[in-house]
Amino acid sequence: MSKNKKPIVAIVGRPNVGKSTLFNALAKQRIAIVKDTPGITRDRIYADVTWLDKAFTLIDTGGIEPDSRDIILSQMREQAQIAIDTADVILFMVDVKQGMVDADAKVADMLRRSHKPVILVVNKVDNFDKYMADTYEFYNLGIGDPHPISASGRLGIGDMLDVLVSYFGDSESGDEEDERTRVAIVGKPNVGKSSLINKLIGENRLIVSEIAGTTRDAVDTPVVYNGKEYIFIDTAGLRRKNKIKEELEHYMIVRTVGAIERSDIVILVIDAVEGVTEQDAKIAGIAHDRGKAVIIAVNKWDAIEKNNKTVNQYTAKIREILSYMPYAEITFISALTGQRLPKLYDLIDVISENHSMRISTGVLNEIMSEAVALQQPPSDKGKRLRLYYITQVGVKPPTFVIFVNDKELMHFSYTRYIENKVREAFGFRGTPLKFLIRERREKK
Ligand X SMILES: Nc1nc2c(ncn2[C@@H]2O[C@H](COP(=O)(O)OP(=O)(O)OP(=O)(O)O)[C@@H](O)[C@H]2O)c(=O)[nH]1
The verdict on whether residue 144 carries a ligand-binding annotation is no
Q: Is 99 in the site for ligand X (CB under 6 A)?
A: no
Q: Is 238 in the site for ligand X (CB under 6 A)?
A: yes
Q: Is 150 in the site for ligand X (CB under 6 A)?
A: yes
Q: How deeply is 401 buried, as exposed, middle or buried, from its count of CB atoms within 10 A (0-12, 13-18, 19+)?
A: middle
Candidates 152, 214, 310, 399; binder of ligand X (CB under 6 A) is 152
The verdict on whether residue 237 carries a ligand-binding annotation is yes
Amino acid letter, 69: R
Q: In the bound complex, what is the minimum distance in angstroms from residue 93's beta carbon to ligand X?
A: 7
Amino acid letter, 100: M
The verdict on whether residue 13 carries a ligand-binding annotation is yes
Q: Is 258 in the site for ligand X (CB under 6 A)?
A: no
Closer to ligand X by Cβ: residue 63 or 144? 63
Q: Is 236 in the site for ligand X (CB under 6 A)?
A: yes
Candidates 9, 335, 404, 422; binder of ligand X (CB under 6 A) is 335
Q: Is 239 in the site for ligand X (CB under 6 A)?
A: yes
Closer to ligand X by Cβ: residue 149 or 165? 149
Candidates 126, 134, 217, 353; binder of ligand X (CB under 6 A) is 126
Q: In the bound complex, what is the minimum distance in angstroms from residue 242's beta carbon to ligand X?
A: 15
CA distance from start to end of the chain = 48
Beta strands in 61-160 (DSSP E): 89-95, 118-123, 146-148
Tell which residue, 247, 270, 291, 289, has the closest CA to residue 186. Answer: 270
- Dihedral pair phi/psi, residue 4, rounded to 5°: 65, 5
The verdict on whether residue 52 carries a ligand-binding annotation is no
Residues facing 299 on adjacent strands: 271
Q: Is 279 in the site for ligand X (CB under 6 A)?
A: no
376 vs 54: CA distance, rounded Å: 40
The verdict on whether residue 241 carries a ligand-binding annotation is no
Tell which residue, 399, 398, 401, 408, has the closest CA to residue 377. Answer: 408
The verdict on whether residue 193 carries a ligand-binding annotation is yes
Candidates 15, 144, 394, 427; binder of ligand X (CB under 6 A) is 15
Cβ neighbours of residue 51 under 8 Å, at least 6 residues apart?
29, 161, 162, 164, 165
- Ramachandran region, residue 370 (left: φ > 0; alpha: ψ -120 to 50; beta: rest): alpha
Q: How deeply is 92 buried, as exposed, middle or buried, from its count of CB atoms within 10 A (0-12, 13-18, 19+)?
A: buried
289 vs 33: CA distance, rounded Å: 9
The verdict on whether residue 162 carries a ligand-binding annotation is no
Candidates 181, 334, 352, 392; binder of ligand X (CB under 6 A) is 334
Query: Does residue 18 sit in helix, strand or coil?
Result: coil
Query: Does residue 141 sit in helix, strand or coil?
Result: helix
The verdict on whether residue 422 carries a ligand-binding annotation is no
Q: Restricting to residues 172-231, which ones interact with ligand X according to CB under 6 A?
A: 187, 189-195
Q: Find the part of the chain contacting ligand X (CB under 6 A) among 13-21, 99-107, 385-393, 436-444.
A: 13-21
The residues of the shown chain that bind ligand X, judged by CB under 6 A, are 13, 15-21, 63, 123-124, 126, 150-153, 187, 189-195, 236-239, 299-300, 302-303, 334-336
Would you list which residues are annotated within the binding site for GTP? Answer: 13-20, 60-64, 123-126, 187-194, 234-238, 299-302
Would you list which residues are annotated within the binding site? Answer: 13-20, 60-64, 123-126, 187-194, 234-238, 299-302
